[in-house]
Structure 1
């Protein structure tokens, strides 16, 4: 058995031309290229897929080999899976050739064998370089070809860095050099998973709301921190893949991607005292940078809503058509799909994702901690949760949201602060009784939605001076009514929310 430790990247086509030059400064033990044809097998009810296993037959230079990869682990784009390989003489899988001990308890390989059938295939040219770096051997494999399921096809442009032997840190150091050149994006989806999706046997990514992490009071601070970071990174990458896969490129995918980024950012801030210098301060800067790169999403969602169904939201305005045309023109100025793809394949984005993956893989926060920090990380998270929730609540109460009365502009200015406060609550929410937690959070969620509705009017305010006098007067009156209604509802919700007793005390 071999346990694969590899980093998977999806790459832009131009990387194939740049890679040989980039590798010239390394010691290359071996270099070759080969054509690989792979057929993947499973049962009609996907018995292997359900146990997170993959079975393939690879044909190469007239020789065949069957491989089974069993359930492993994944952090970011780092994949670790047990792998078993057996030579074959015929193009038919034979599970009896694998050791019986490899199968999970309760699995009957002989029964699975009877129902195996080919499902999809991959066909690609693999260019390989075997490098040695300070005694560590790393194989780079650049794959270009396609996944095929029936008459459906998808291109393959992937780069895999696999640790052959030695120190896994060298894997990441080499990856960082490559990522700096741009055009690489850490890949969370394997060729097999893409094949299952293409064959219609596995669902494509679905949009998901960020749900609370299930916690127990006895969970340690370290366990909670790691689980929150994994959850945030997984949510982030899931919606990155989903946005890239969606033909309509819905903004909702990017909004949820941003939620995952926000959870990672908030988690590093919440546990910063326990980690001290072990958190790379550059990540905080990069996470802030990435959220800034996505800050236009709020405006984009507003414009999408205002222009939906030919401006249905503006249906009571005689100048609806004029406004809708102007709003649609503003939409054209927002980042387009090509610009967003460039962001996801950019060097800074890739370096951030790679750094977080490496940090989680090595559990780097443990090195160099003081005895006090070690004790803090090992302590139950319940005490820290109360402290952080108190801190967040104090900030909120002493912000403008705690003042006697707010106007519309002041409410809108508090949107980011309220989002951060609600994210802190989400991080620790399942430590507390659900009914009390929901009763406390709901008014604040209503306030956030009300602020977002109020902010929805901002693009219209921006257009006011471009209208003729009559249309401007009509818009002013309509906006004033909307604002009065929303402010009245916000004030009522805020008055109720400020009277509630915190559920964590």
Structure 2
């Protein structure tokens, strides 16, 4: 058995032509090109897929080999899976050639063997380099081809870096050098997963709301920090993949991607005493930079709502047609699909994702700990939760949201602060009684929605000055009525929310 440790990247079409120059400074022990044809097998009821196993037969230079990969682990784009290989003389899988000990208990090998059928294939040209760095060997494989199931096809443009032997840190260092050149994006799904989807046996990514992490009072700080970071990274990557796979209106995917990034950022801040001096100082800057790259999403969401159903929201305005035309012109100024794809394949984005993956894999926050810090990591999470919730509540009470009265502009300025406060509550919510937590949280969520509704009028404020005098006056009066109604509702919700007693006391 081998344990496969590899980084998977999806790459732009120009990476192949640039790669030889990028590798010139490295010691290349081997370099070749191979045509690989692979057929993947499973039963109609996905007996192998249900245990997260994959079975394939690979044909290469007239030789055949069957491989089974069992359930492993994944962090970011780093994949680790047990792998078993057996040579074949005929193109037909034979599970009996594998040791019976590799299968889970109660897995019926004979029944599965009798029901195996081909599901899909992958056919690609692989350029391979074996690179030696000190005592470490890394196989770098650039694959170009396609996944096929029946008449369904999907292109393959991938780069894999597999640790053959040695130090996994060298794997990341080589990857970082390649990512610096741009055009690489860490891949969370394998060729096999793509094939299952293409064959109709795997579901396409589904939009997911960010749910709280299940915690208990027995959980300690380090365990919770790791779980929150993994959850945030998974949510982030899931919606990145979903956005790229979907077509048409995809704003909700990007909003949830941003939620995942925010959870990672917030977690690093919540556990700042444990990680602050062991996290690359550029990380926080990069996370802030990435969130800034998506700062336009709020405006895009507002415009999408205002222009939906041919401007139904504006139906009572005589100047509806003029306003709608100006709003649609604003939409044309938003980042387009090509700009977003360029972001996902950019060097800074790739290095941030790669650095976070490496840090989580190595658990670098443990390096150089003094006894006091080790004790902090092992302490119950409930103590830190109460401390952070108290801090967050103090900040909120002493912000503009705690002032006697606010105008619309002041409310809108508090949107980011309130979102961060609610994220802190979400991180620790399952440590407390659900009814108490929800009872405290709901009024503040109502306030956030009210602020978002108020902010949704901002694009209309911008277009008002572009209308003629008559239409501008009509829109101004309409906006004043809307703002008055929303501010009254916000003030009622805020009065109620500020009287609530914290549930974590």
The two structures have a TM-score, normalised by structure 1, of 0.99
Q: Give the whole-Å Cα distance in 2 for the aligned partners of 1:290 and 1:394.
A: 28
Are residues 274 and 160 of structure 1, via their aligned partners in 2, closer, same or farther at CA, if it must alter by over 3 Å?
Answer: same
Q: Give the whole-Å Cα distance in 1 for the aligned partners of 2:264 and 2:203.
A: 26
Residue by residue, what CA displacement relative to the aligned partner does 1:399-450 show, whole Å, maximum 9, x if unpaired?
A: 0000111111000000000000000001100000000000000000000000
Residue by residue, what CA displacement relative to the aligned partner does 1:293-332 show, whole Å, maximum 9, x if unpaired?
A: 0000000010111111100110110111111111011100
- Superposition map of 1:60-79 within 5 A: 60-79=60-79
Q: Give the whole-Å Cα distance in 2 for the aligned partners of 1:48 and 1:446.
A: 46
Of residues 247-256 and 449-458 in structure 1, the stretch that sits farther from structure 2 once superposed is 247-256
Tell me the SS of whatever aligns to 2:247: coil
- Aligned partner of 2:349 in structure 1 is 349
- CA drift of 1:249 comes to 4.9
- Aligned partner of 1:226 in structure 2 is 226
- Superposition map of 1:419-434 within 5 A: 419-434=419-434
Tell me the SS of whatever aligns to 2:24: helix
Tell me the SS of whatever aligns to 2:179: helix
Are residues 249 and 120 of structure 1, via their aligned partners in 2, closer, same or farther at CA, if it must alter by over 3 Å?
Answer: farther
In structure 2, the gaps of 5 or more residues are: none
- Give the ranges of 4+ consecutive aligned residues of structure 1 lying more than 4 Å apart after TM superposition: none
- Aligned partner of 1:211 in structure 2 is 211
Tell me the SS of whatever aligns to 1:161: strand
- CA drift of 1:135 comes to 1.1
Q: Give the whole-Å Cα distance in 2 for the aligned partners of 1:316 and 1:118.
A: 59
Q: Give the whole-Å Cα distance in 1 for the aligned partners of 2:430 and 2:446.
A: 20
8 Å Cα contact 2:274/2:365 also seen in 1: no
Of residues 342-351 and 106-115 in structure 1, the stretch that sits farther from structure 2 once superposed is 106-115
Q: Give the whole-Å Cα distance in 2 for the aligned partners of 1:115 and 1:351.
A: 44
- CA drift of 1:166 comes to 0.3
- Aligned partner of 2:116 in structure 1 is 116
Aligned residues: 505
- Aligned partner of 1:270 in structure 2 is 270
Tell me the SS of whatever aligns to 1:25: coil
Tell me the SS of whatever aligns to 1:500: coil
8 Å Cα contact 1:243/1:249 also seen in 2: no
- Aligned partner of 1:28 in structure 2 is 28
- Aligned partner of 2:324 in structure 1 is 324
- Superposition map of 1:374-389 within 5 A: 374-389=374-389
Residue by residue, what CA displacement relative to the aligned partner does 1:20-70 show, whole Å, maximum 9, x if unpaired?
A: 111111111101010000111111111111111111111111111110000
Tell me the SS of whatever aligns to 2:127: strand
- Aligned partner of 2:11 in structure 1 is 11
Tell me the SS of whatever aligns to 1:141: strand
- Aligned partner of 1:141 in structure 2 is 141
- Aligned partner of 2:492 in structure 1 is 492
Q: Give the whole-Å Cα distance in 2 for the aligned partners of 1:274 and 1:165.
A: 32
- CA drift of 1:149 comes to 1.1
- Aligned partner of 2:101 in structure 1 is 101
8 Å Cα contact 1:120/1:195 also seen in 2: yes
- Aligned partner of 1:313 in structure 2 is 313
Tell me the SS of whatever aligns to 1:295: coil
Q: Give the whole-Å Cα distance in 1 for the aligned partners of 2:382 and 2:84.
A: 43
- Superposition map of 1:230-379 within 5 A: 230-379=230-379
In structure 1, the gaps of 5 or more residues are: none
The two structures have a TM-score, normalised by structure 2, of 0.99
Q: Give the whole-Å Cα distance in 2 for the aligned partners of 1:47 and 1:478.
A: 61
Q: Give the whole-Å Cα distance in 1 for the aligned partners of 2:47 and 2:248.
A: 33
Q: Give the whole-Å Cα distance in 1 for the aligned partners of 2:158 and 2:476.
A: 54
Q: Give the whole-Å Cα distance in 2 for the aligned partners of 1:248 and 1:390.
A: 43
Residue by residue, what CA displacement relative to the aligned partner does 1:106-127 show, whole Å, maximum 9, x if unpaired?
A: 2111111111111111000000
Q: Give the whole-Å Cα distance in 1 for the aligned partners of 2:200 and 2:317.
A: 46
- Superposition map of 1:440-459 within 5 A: 440-459=440-459
Q: Give the whole-Å Cα distance in 2 for the aligned partners of 1:274 and 1:262.
A: 19
8 Å Cα contact 1:9/1:159 also seen in 2: yes
Correspondence 1:199 to 2:199: yes
Tell me the SS of whatever aligns to 2:93: coil
Residue by residue, what CA displacement relative to the aligned partner does 1:164-208 show, whole Å, maximum 9, x if unpaired?
A: 000000000000000000000000010000011111111000000
Tell me the SS of whatever aligns to 2:465: helix
- CA drift of 1:275 comes to 2.1
Tell me the SS of whatever aligns to 2:59: strand
Tell me the SS of whatever aligns to 1:466: coil
- Aligned partner of 1:483 in structure 2 is 483
Tell me the SS of whatever aligns to 1:47: coil
